[in-house]
Structure 1
Amino acid sequence: MPDDEQPQLTIWGRANSVNVQKVLWCLTELDLPFTRIDAGMQYGRTREADYLAMNPNARIPTLVEGDFVLWESNSIMRYLCLAHGRGTPIYPSAPKQRAAVDRWLDWTLSTLQPVDRPVFWGLVRTPPEQRDMVQLQKDTDTAAEIWQVLDRQLATHRYVEGDDFTIADIALGAYARRWLGVEGIVRPTLSHLDRWFAQFAGRPGFATYVAPPMS
């Protein structure tokens, strides 16, 4: 099928979801056109029968391309690079380099996301009068220990896995936006993390989809 006849890429998911943001940033890095449909939280739809037929987890994002459906944000990014990246450096082809990127994608979900969520939800999605600031600071201290792991990695790397920007930077950069953007807590200074994060300001995908105010 010629490129101009490829099925349209459609992303289901609300724009303020960190996992949707990762995918939108990736699409922008690859210069791929797409359509996004609001779903999740206030938009509902994820528990409707037609959506569950695509994604039985009732979560976002979900990618639809013709008759192909894929869920899980990191898997979607991998697929986009493999199917549409044409040798893109953001997902290396060499096995060792790719495995190194993959481990950080796994680490984001297995290790970082569980400690990020209580802080973000407690400060951004909980009304001020309902916040338990003592508990939130404890949660912040726990999360800080995890962010220090990445800060130490970045002490000797321009990007997460060396001199080149990859989808590991997208995944971790989207979460770093939340960590560095919330207020009302005490965080340690992580200079390497700050230096790394500052590089994203000039990337259109980050500026358009990740940098806007959190909600």
Structure 2
Amino acid sequence: MLTILGRNNSINVQKVMWTCSEIGCQTERRDIGGEFGGNNTPEYLKKNPTGQIPTLIDGKYILWESNTIVRYISDTYGDTPWQPKDKKICFLGHQWMDFYIASLHPAMTTIFWQLIRTPIEKRNESAIQHAHKKATILWGLVNEHLRKNSFILGPHVTFSDVPMGCAVYRWYNLDIKRANYYHLESWYDRLSKRHPYQENVMLPLT
């Protein structure tokens, strides 16, 4: 049994829960963070000194940082095709995960926070426009990659689809203009047909 500490409307918690569901891991998720609080208590900070979510508890083993948790669960409990055996293919997956967190995530976070969690009168339109322009360019790179791939690493969904897969749900459900990226939208459509994705990612944006 894996214990996941974090609220389900967090994109980082969604990454972990989607991964667990795809693999078939038994999980217990506890609401922590946001309106639930609890992430700044001494007990929680002892597990995760950043005070962020999620935190994974696997027996006596504790891990934080969502992408690291996705990698750990996939490598420890996953099997092919979710977790490819070929290390070179796996590192291509890590490459795309790192591309997301280093390049695409900051822009997507700005758009999401400004449109969903910031009152209209306090929104920074300049920041939204700048982030939207950058995100559009970066999603274009993903679109080109998907021109010859059904999923990030080829014909099957894998751990590497998780970070951008969570973000692409937001991209297609935020009230924004979007470029006509056929391959990106087709990938999103394929993900949307998966029950683990529906149950853990396709949730109201709050």
TM-score (norm 2): 0.95
> In structure 2, what residue type is equivalent to 1:81?
S
1:174 match: 166
Matches within 5 A, 1:84-99: 84-85=77-78, 87-99=79-91
For 1:73, the equivalent position in structure 2 comes to 66
Q: Deviations over 1:169-215 (max 9, x none)?
A: 121110111111100x3221111100110001221111011112110
**1:125 is matched by which residue type in structure 2?**
R
Contact 1:91 1:101 in 2 (8 A): no
Unaligned runs of 5+ in 1: 1-7
Query: Structure 1 residues 82, 138: closer, same or farther in 2, change over 3 A?
Result: closer
CA RMSD of aligned residues (A): 1.2
Q: What is the alpha-carbon distance in structure 1 between the residues aligned to residue 123 and residue 107 of structure 2?
A: 17
2:152 pairs with 1:160? yes
Q: Deviations over 1:10-60 (max 9, x none)?
A: 000110010100110000001111100111121111111111111111111
Pairing partner for 2:119 from 122, 127, 132:
127
For residue 108 of structure 1, the aligned residue among 79, 88, 100 is: 100
**Inter-partner Cα distance in structure 1 for 2:17 and 2:186:** 23
Look up the match of 2:140: 148
1:134 shift after superposition = 4.5
- Contact 2:6–2:54 under 8 Å retained in 1: yes
Q: 1:90-113, CA deviations, whole angstroms, 9 ceiling, x for partnerless residues?
A: 121211111111111111111111
Alignment-derived partner of residue 5 in structure 1? none
Runs of 5+ consecutive residues of structure 2 not aligned to the other structure: none
- Matched letter for residue 9 of structure 1: L
- Identity, % of aligned positions: 34
Residue number in structure 2 paired with 1:3: none
Normalising to structure 1: TM-score of the pair?
Answer: 0.91
Partner Cα separation in structure 1 for residue 22 and residue 111 of structure 2: 29
Q: 2:55 aligns with which of 59, 62, 87?
A: 62
Rounded Cα–Cα distance in structure 1 between residues aligned with 2:137 and 2:88: 27
- Which of residues 7, 20, 25 is equivalent to 2:13? 20
* CA distance in structure 1 between the partners assigned to 2:84 and 2:50 by the alignment: 29
- 2:47/2:62 contact within 8 Å kept: yes
For 2:111, give the aligned amino acid.
V
Which consecutive segments of 4 or more residues in structure 1 shift more than 6 A?
none
